[in-house]
Amino acid sequence: MATTRQKALDIAGKMLPPDLVQLLAPDNRAPFGAELGDLGLATIFETLWTREGIDLRTRSLITVAMLIALRAHSELAIHAPAAIRNGATVAELEEVIYHASGYAGFPAAASARDTVREALKKAGMLF
């Protein structure tokens, strides 16, 4: 039976590009802030993404909505393609952005639209 750490790594491997997954490995960490990857793996992927009750697609859409509200564009650029890999559609991401405009504000939604558009183009998911 797989450990929670292995489940977390499997989920991260499915969601994230290989270069980002490699940053989670202790051997590949930069000297400054080296433990941040492990903290993310332990507190986010192991604790939250491996939980039962909400599927990965739904977790991704919730995560995208929260990142829009936080205006966390670097993370949003990672999680928008991850949402597609977890089963969300481009149309659903658009709807999350539209919906966020009413709660997080139009500027946050407009910035998110631009970030997501570029991230999906870069990932080859939008043409």
Q: Are residues 85 and 106 in the same domain?
A: yes
Q: Provide CB contacts within 8 A for 33, sequence distance 6+.
A: none
Estimate to the nearest angstrom the gap between the alpha carbon of 51 and the chain centroid.
16
Structural domain including 113 reads: 56-122
Q: Are residues 66 and 109 in the same domain?
A: yes
Give me the sign of the Cα torsion angle 18, 21, 26, 30.
positive
Q: Are residues 116 and 62 in the same domain?
A: yes
pLDDT single digits (tens) 61-98: 999 999 999 999 999 999 999 999 999 999 999 999 99
pLDDT single digits (tens) 18-75: 988 887 776 666 678 878 888 888 999 999 999 999 999 999 999 999 999 999 999 9
Percent of the chain residues topping a pLDDT of 90: 77
Which amino acid, one-letter code, is at 109? A
Q: Within 10 Å of residue 112's Cβ, how many Cβ atoms?
A: 27
Considering the domain boundaries, does residue 35 fall inside one? yes
What is d(CA 77, CA 123) in angstroms, rounded to the nearest whole number? 10
